[in-house]
Amino acid sequence: MYRFTPPTTTYRAGTDSLWGRVKNNRGLAVVLYADGRVVTVQDAPSTTDASVTTVWPGGRTYDLTDAQAALLTEAGYSANLVVVP
């Protein structure tokens, strides 16, 4: 079994001299499409979209099957996967 944490991005809270110093992290969603594409997006698409197979919204950790982990490793997300003994 594997655990997967989607990637994050850092952004500044504002542009002025005070809020421009504040940095926030935002989780990015990882989407698996029916055609096999794996894409990172800021906002998770609707799961009612027929072309979307699986969505992993950011900010959480997910337990994955070996097959899902292999797909994400092939797509370049191996740094975000941890093997659970």
Report residue 18: phi and psi, to 5°: -90, -60
Please tell me the pTM assigned to this model: 0.81
CA 5 to chain centre: 7
DSSP state of 20: G
The pLDDT of residue 6: 96
State how many domains the chain has: 1
Coil, strand or helix: which one is 7? coil
Tens digits of residue pLDDT in 43-64? 888 767 889 999 999 989 999 9
* Domain interval for residue 14: 2-83
Q: How many CB atoms lie within 10 A of CB 56?
A: 24
